[in-house]
Amino acid sequence: MMTPASIAATCVFLSGLIGASAACASALKESPETTRLIETIEKRRNALTPADLRAARRLNADGDRAYRRRDYPAAFTAYANSYPNAPNAYAYIMAGDANWRGVVRHHMQQLRASADSGPICPLDNSHFAHDLAMDVAQHQAVGLTLAARDNDRRLLKSAVYRRARESTSCLQDLAQHYDAEAPAVCIDLDQLRRCLGAPLIK
For 115-143, how does the pLDDT look when each residue is reduced to its tens digit (9 = 90+)?
Answer: 777 678 999 999 999 999 999 999 999 99
State yes or no: pLDDT of 13 exceeds 70.
no
Helix (H/G/I), strand (E/B), else coil: 186: strand
Q: State the pLDDT confidence band at 28, using cuts at 50, 70 and 90.
A: confident
Residue 42 has pLDDT above 60, yes or no: yes
Cβ atoms of 147 and 10 closer than 8 Å: no
d(CA 140, CA 134) in angstroms, rounded, equals: 10
Average pLDDT over residues 75-88: 96
Q: Find out whether 184 and 125 touch, Cβ atoms under 8 Å.
A: yes
pLDDT of residue 27: 55
Average pLDDT over residues 158-185: 97
What pLDDT sits at residue 120? 87
Residues 52-78 pLDDT 10s? 999 999 999 999 999 999 999 999 999
pLDDT of residue 114: 80
The predicted model scores a pTM of 0.84
> Is the confidence at residue 2, as pLDDT, over 70?
no
The yes-or-no verdict on residue 169 having pLDDT over 60 is: yes
Residue 26 pLDDT greater than 80, yes or no: no
Residue 112: CB partners within 8 Å, gap ≥ 6?
A: none
Please compute Rg for the chain using Cα positions: 17
Residues 6 or more apart in contact with residue 140 via CB below 8 angstroms: 92, 93, 96, 97, 164, 167, 168, 171
Give the pLDDT confidence score for residue 65 in this predicted structure: 98
Residue 108: predicted pLDDT:
94
Phi/psi of residue 172, nearest 5 degrees: -60, -45
